[in-house]
Structure 1
Amino acid sequence: MSKLALNPWQIEESDFPADGTTSEKLKFLINYAVLAPSGHNTQPWSFIIVNDAIELYADKTRALPVVDPDDRELIISCGAALFNLRIAIRHFGYRDIVEIFPQPEIADLLARVSIGSKRIIKQEESYLFRVISKRATNRLPFIDRELPASLISELESATELEGTWREIMTKIISASTRSKVIELIDRGDRLQMADPLFRQELSKWVHAHNNPSHDGISAHAQGINEKLDVFTPLISLAIRSFDLGKSQSAKDCQLAKNAPVLMLIGSNNDYPRDWLETGEALEHLLLKARINDVWASFFNQPVEIPELRSRLQAMFPENGHPQILLRLGYAKEIKPTPRRTVDEVLNEVRSRK
């Protein structure tokens, strides 16, 4: 079977076509790009290989117009995929040459990445590379165990390296700050689940794990026993049909309350370039966390609703634009969500004059 038709989670580092053409190397490296996180696991990216470079596009056919009308989170997801691609190139001993929004006249083209000259592999980059396939969004309750202060500082630095600002909230800061953020999570859950259009959009992406579309949120990804995955269609129907805001809020607020760390990632500006950079910073943070056996999951409801986003922004003196709200902690191992294969996300290989 072609390596491009395999489940990207199963790709082996040893399969890298070191003696292959540049195009063959780029195709292989896409396997790592697609392991990035995305809202509802929509995987809103596509790729074209042109003149021995990968072009990363926002796939607007996978947009979420209700929860993400400006495609902000969509582009953040693509930024995370871009970071994985760059780390993979570096790990295999090459410089990564990146152009951000290289041709604004080409719709949805976010970045162009090519393989540069050989370089010495940095140990830290190899550590990051090796946990790309170990990262997943973990919605299980976290173990009651603090993150070391030194590790929290490392995670903060991971986002700083990509030019973002952050506000860390741990158990040691005032309870009032955390409680106010949890109030926004509560409000966000209730507002979103009360909206039939939101529920309809969400339900479309709730799939059984073995769904042939290789995308969406399966039962185990929602913290439900994977043996119940057969009932995922019923879960989808319930989401679409009923306002589950009260129960969803209770679950999320408890998870947030017990999280060792709550972190807010934001940016100084709020444009597509900032969203793409936020995605890179986020993935750097998530991979750094996994190196240290730390998991993450998201509470983006307060960032997705404009009124709540403004309130969240006003809570912190940095006065930046909130982009991602997440929790970090230790938990049991989980299985990752499905991914589309390279064959499914690579549109074409061509030359452009």
Structure 2
Amino acid sequence: MSEGTRNTPIPRDTLAAILESATLAPSSHNTQPWRFELGETGISLFADRLRALPVNDPDDRELTISCGCALFNLRIAAAHAGFNTECQLLPDPGDEDLLATVSFSPVSGEEGRQTELFRAIARRRTYRKRFESKQVPSEVLGILEESAETEGAWFQVLESEHARHQVAELVAEGDAAQWSNPSWRRELAAWMHPRRKGDGLTVPGMVAPVAQLVVRTFDMGNGVGAKDRQLADESPVIAALGTAGDGVEDWLKAGQALERVLLRSLGQGLQASYLNQPIQVAVLRPKLQHLLGRSGFPQILLRLGYPATDLPAAPRRNLQEVVETADTRDIKAKQAGQGRQR
């Protein structure tokens, strides 16, 4: 492929539609920790570390996974718009915030349009309610396993009742550890917002101050743990998604694999939510690894099943808040430097 073909310019309205899809990716506490920079022939994806969760996610591991999810949505939306993507992960060792660059070339024919995955992007939800009791066929789980492998990750279902129960106990133990930490509770409360804010965990405006106060003040780990234990025990599928390594590039691969799994799940009528406490609490992660009985690093713990009801979409920030050009980035950097000199 020639340089000119690979770096095909895309109309601005098409770019906007592609980026709208990218921003529908999941993220911890709905922080939406990504920024996009438009170049003449491509898009750069940056981590927005002002939206990091230093207590819940001290290494920015989940932040990077979320950006990987956004990158996958971008790839699928571009394909649907008629463009192949070529992604370079971590292209600049001197800029740790620059996670990927994406260039475009035309898609030939309809096969590469990824219509099913694209349609699933806007319908994906984080489903925190109880699932229907209907079991998920093994062939569907096989599809999800292949989906993760396509992106360089693995997907493993915990099949035995003993393993599922042990995972449920780890989830409850993780809840207890997190809620006992006042700094963790303050961080959670800080991301509880009315929907109009466009990010965070949605709380009705009139209730938000009270909800934040309660979360900051009270250790509710036992109650939350009991609820999450029950959700885990009753879920049709508990599965871990992981990678061979545990570095930034692995986390980006995990994010792309996660989003592919979530979108393929939706195509099979499934929704999912997360039980990541045994991975977030460092002392519990080796216990989960032992239960899985395999090499590699679990990055995400999922519960999947058939939803009993429809849920509204989580709020999203305006596209103008997450997209800039190289010129506007330079202006912001210069202004920040002038501010430090004053």
Q: Under a length normalisation based on structure 1, what TM-score does the superposition of the two structures give? A: 0.87
Instruction: Look up the match of 2:319.
Output: 342
Distance 1:180 1:21, change over 3 A: closer
Secondary structure of 2:183's match? helix
Instruction: Look up the match of 1:217.
Output: 201
Name the CA distance, whole Å, in 1 between partners of 2:33 and 2:199. Answer: 10
Structure 1's unaligned 5+ residue stretches are 1-19, 220-227
Deviations 1:258-283 (A, max 9, x none): 10000101110000000000000000
The reply to whether residue 254 of structure 1 matches residue 240 of structure 2 is no
User: How many pairs are equivalent?
Assistant: 320
Instruction: Look up the match of 1:64.
Output: 53
Deviations 1:173-196 (A, max 9, x none): 322111111111010000000000
Q: Give the alignment partner of residue 200 of structure 1, picking from 186, 189, 198.
A: 186
Deviations 1:249-306 (A, max 9, x none): 0111111011000010111000000000000000000001111221100001000111
Name the CA distance, whole Å, in 1 between partners of 2:82 and 2:268. Answer: 24
Name the CA distance, whole Å, in 1 between partners of 2:108 and 2:46. Answer: 27
User: What aligned pairs does 1:1-353 form with structure 2 within 5 A after superposition?
Assistant: 21-122=10-111, 125-169=114-158, 173-211=159-197, 214-219=198-203, 230-331=206-307, 332-350=309-327
Quote the offset at 1:23 in angstroms. Answer: 4.1
CA RMSD of aligned residues (A): 1.8
Name the CA distance, whole Å, in 2 between partners of 1:259 and 1:341. Answer: 34
Quote the offset at 1:316 in angstroms. Answer: 2.1
Contact kept? 2:273, 2:302, Cα under 8 Å: yes
Q: Which amino acid aligns with 1:191?
A: A
Secondary structure of 1:106's match? coil
Q: Which amino acid aligns with 1:306?
A: A
Secondary structure of 2:167's match? helix
Q: Percent identity?
A: 41
Distance 1:113 1:124, change over 3 A: closer
Structure 2's unaligned 5+ residue stretches are 1-8, 330-342
Secondary structure of 2:195's match? coil
Distance 1:233 1:120, change over 3 A: farther
Name the CA distance, whole Å, in 2 between partners of 1:45 and 1:83. Answer: 13
Quote the offset at 1:38 in angstroms. Answer: 0.1
